[in-house]
Structure 1
């Protein structure tokens, strides 16, 4: 049954700007008639993060199989992300005394053996989340009760992070934080390696009057120096609790979804859409923002709770709990319109992701078992249920988490197969894929040192995916190319500095990260033949000697 989308015309967009430290508040106000949108910004400075690196030799937490955690206590609210370097990271709430929990980050080279990496010293912070872009793997968690105005972003590769503190402004009690990463340039030609993406969360806001309890927030960094923007919606938006968010990496649109207690006895959904592919400069405040595209509400007589959202090339899917059922609202046009479809009855706590082949994956909990279903048409219809964890899932809000990595969907969940609640990891959905074929390597067979030569690499991918080439030139130099069209010659130049015979080794990797078999080619750099020039000098100095020899030598 379709439900109409009601545009919230009384909603106001507001934001706080975080830049270098400033003693005064700078407010810039802009009015727009249609939605009465007003924006406010102020500045503070990012801070270091409190952490403790784990000594693996004295505190091992390595397990075979897919278990990430173990020990004598419970772990909750896990999250996971694959890294651009090929490894994996996970987070969960960890304790040593069953009294104080800290966010813990774990790492794995292969997804099978996991080690604890770093404990973040924020007492009883809840709800972790992770994602990745081309530069790194990032995580976040809710604000700790004793510093509840803090926003934290971590990076797995450096086992460190950054903090922005809004507590002194009445912006606090952040909860259900989610992170969505993007690879996108910064303002004014900045390459944007610092631009990890955006956060979505709910919290409290007494910076405005009347104050908003359960305020819907977004936050993102806008400069390499640590400047950041926190924004929120005001109006009829109070009561937000659980949060879902997604970044469409094709359109660069960011979708934030909040469930909210309407105060009328039920929960509805609030949706916000921002364009993270555009930076807008405000000269009065000297800051940059991503423009909000729209905001809207999804209302129903039933309770709409625990949203999760995925987006790819304008296919947007919001999964949520509708009373005791799991449903989706799917759209093929960037959520300009939507359609409601029931995924499973008598189920709860859905998570949604979209794989590289366009398959939409929803996991949910039903009668103590974690299931998954897939849709091959953007969310319109759903296949049969498959078991992910048989009667072993801890029934808890945000007890599972999904990540799309190298085109596949990986996941973690709270598992009760042992004596405690532990975190388990597995591949949830693998895109059907064949590796690229051995590449042909064509080019010269030999040459001179110090001279550049061109070699062509050509691999056919059975699935038609783009490929990149990893090349070992045999002289201690290696390189990789960008993704290029499969089945076509890709020229690469190389210069050898020394004489010798070298073996060039190359293999192709498809866009999903699957490697093909290598090929080899030999290239010989011959020793240059030197000519003794002393005879030429002798003949130049004795022009009348050996006339025939001089003629042969062209002198």
Structure 2
């Protein structure tokens, strides 16, 4: 009752009823105020092609277009494509979404890209894309994106089920509520959560802007949104009304996902003291979903431009935040899921860091002296490796907010070596992907009976692997991690007769995936057997005719 009362009085939760199936002119209001979601569509999509630039080493130039390209982000979809998104500033009043993908990103000519102009805005920016994979077969499985409409003061989003299709087939929308003085927008891989107030289940995103609704006037107000991906897009969003910890005006937000909860961070400028602080909050929906009233929140450092990551290792949860402070990249870290924090430790001289946890290794990319560097930590952030320079052309990397992003799919950054600002990609060493798995099991059977299948794959680096299985009947399954080369037996039951293709791939702890392996299983119609004497022979002699016994389901 306490939380419901706080919710009603402080109005810190707003439910937005979205209707993606409605025409673009339709607005469905919520039960608090006139907030709604409208469909948007593509005004123009220009296909851009890679430019084969000589003498650039391993740096790969994204398919280019006129104007400056900024704010890059990178992810990887379930088909193995590296996907890069950015803001294309065509001119001072025309900003577009740039997006490119490749299944062989080290080959510069393999990239395909689009510059997308939307119908309801001429200045879309902060486009960010993540791969979201809901836990159930009917959940959303695809690329989920977020952006901002600068000229019309709106918050937008998009969904891409297949990156190889034309952008006109993707889904675009925006929330019909004001978002003025916009600061940032971000999404992250994997975030799929149940929101307890209204039961919404789906993807997360974050935003910071000047919040002026419901009688509030909060400059640089941080918020996160939980968008239901299965019930028409209903969204609950939580904003920080500053009743507990002063966290606004905020800048440069980021978050890290774990299976059942997530960690948030952003930069808060204390105007009274004229200092910048790093805010941390943990949201465990089972305890408290409200960003304002979560019991897990604090200032953890002084600095700017934070980036956060979290991972599990041996039943313990590790969280690390890197940020810039007085010319250095610093790190604070926790080995108990944020209950206590250690540090800061100095990572390196530099600015504008980006952090990524791949398995249990932290990768920190940052800019220093016009170059892009990478360091790693194998102990949760308490110490760091020597630096590796990523860019091939010295002094070409641009140092600005969100000019760098890092992912298992590669590193991207804003580069000034050309006539205007471009986005470049490069790889970094995280080992080799597992070999394609073997699938051992029956070739057929009968419906509504469980059958065992054994999966096995070898990882060249000896990393643990898990198996991502499509049973061919609309059901998907992901196993726990297992030692490289060990067998993993999984049971499945098909409900109806038919021919089904099992598709499986192995994934190591660093997110590297193997080629797919397939196996066809037939579930024929059950037929009566009119030879009971022959069945008695099979029953009494279990080693006879094994193939026939399998087909008969004995």
Q: TM-score, normalised by structure 1?
A: 0.71
Q: Give the secondary structure class of the aligned counterpart of 1:234.
A: coil
When residues 203 and 478 of structure 1 are mapped into structure 2, their CA distance, relative to the original with a 3 A threshold, is closer
**Equivalent-residue separation in structure 1 for 2:239 and 2:358 (angstroms):** 30
Matching of residue 426 in structure 1 with residue 426 in structure 2? yes
Shift of 1:250: 3.3
3-state SS in 2 of match to 1:389: coil
Give how far 1:88 is off: 3.2
Q: Structure 1: how far apart are the matches of 2:254 and 2:42?
A: 27
Residue 75 in structure 1 maps to residue 69 in structure 2: yes
1:509–1:120 distance in 2 versus 1, CA, 3 Å: same
Aligned pair in 2 of structure 1 residues 380, 230: CA closer, same or farther (>3 Å)? same
TM-fit CA distance, 1:95: 3.5
Distance 2:128 2:427 in 1: 18
Change (3 A) 1:469 1:449: closer
1:19-418 to 2 correspondences below 5 Å: 19=17, 26=32, 42-56=33-47, 60-63=48-51, 66-97=60-91, 99-111=93-105, 112-116=110-114, 118-121=116-119, 122-134=121-133, 135-144=141-150, 146-148=151-153, 150-157=154-161, 159-167=170-178, 172-180=180-188, 181-185=190-194, 192=201, 195-199=202-206, 201-207=207-213, 211-222=217-228, 224-225=231-232, 226-234=234-242, 237=246, 239-276=248-285, 292-298=294-300, 300=302, 304-313=303-312, 314-356=317-359, 358-390=360-392, 391=394, 392-403=396-407, 408=408, 410-418=410-418
Q: Which has the larger radius of gyration?
A: 1
Q: Label 1:185 to 1:232 Cα distance change in 2 as closer, same or farther (>3 A).
A: closer
Provide the aligned length of Structure 1 versus Structure 2. Answer: 468
Shift of 1:16: 3.1
Deviation string 1:93-149 (CA, Å, 9 cap, x unpaired) is 2143455222333333443412116333533344332222111212222341x322x
Matched with 2:479 is 483
Q: CA deviation at 1:385?
A: 0.2
Matches of 1:18 and 1:514 in 2, distance apart?
37
Deviations 1:33-86 (A, max 9, x none): xxxxxxxxx452111124335253xxx333457221324422111112211333
**Residue in 1 that maps onto 2:440:** 441
Q: Is the CA contact (8 Å cut-off) linking 2:247 and 2:279 kept in structure 1?
A: no
Whether contact under 8 Å (1:359, 1:377) holds in the other structure is yes
**Distance across 1 between alignment mates of 2:445 and 2:260:** 48
Instruction: Report how far residue 231 of structure 1 moved.
Output: 1.3
In the alignment, which residue of structure 2 is the partner of 1:550? none
> Alignment partner for residue 456 of structure 2, among 448, 456, 459?
459
Cα 1:460–1:220 change in 2 (3 A) is closer
Give how far 1:297 is off. 2.1
Tell me, in whole angstroms, the C-alpha distance in 2 between the residues paired with 1:25 and 1:191.
15
Query: d(CA) in 1 for partners of 2:518 and 2:209?
Result: 56
Q: Provide closer, same or farther for how the CA distance between residues 299 and 82 of structure 1 changes in structure 2, counting only shifts above 3 A.
A: closer
Where 1:218 maps in the other structure, the secondary structure is strand
Which residue of 1 is the match for residue 507 of structure 2? 510
Instruction: Report the alpha carbon displacement of residue 333 of structure 1 after superposing the two structures with TM.
Output: 1.5
CA distance in 2 between counterparts of 1:252 and 1:163 reads 26
Deviations 1:443-481 (A, max 9, x none): 47xx89999895643425453322245789xxxx99975
* Alpha-carbon distance in 2 for matches of 1:22, 1:490: 44
What pairs up with 1:529-540 in 2 under 5 angstroms?
Answer: none
User: TM-score, normalized by length of structure 2?
Assistant: 0.71
Listed as ranges, the gaps of 5+ residues in structure 2 are: 1-9, 19-26, 53-58, 134-140, 162-168, 531-554
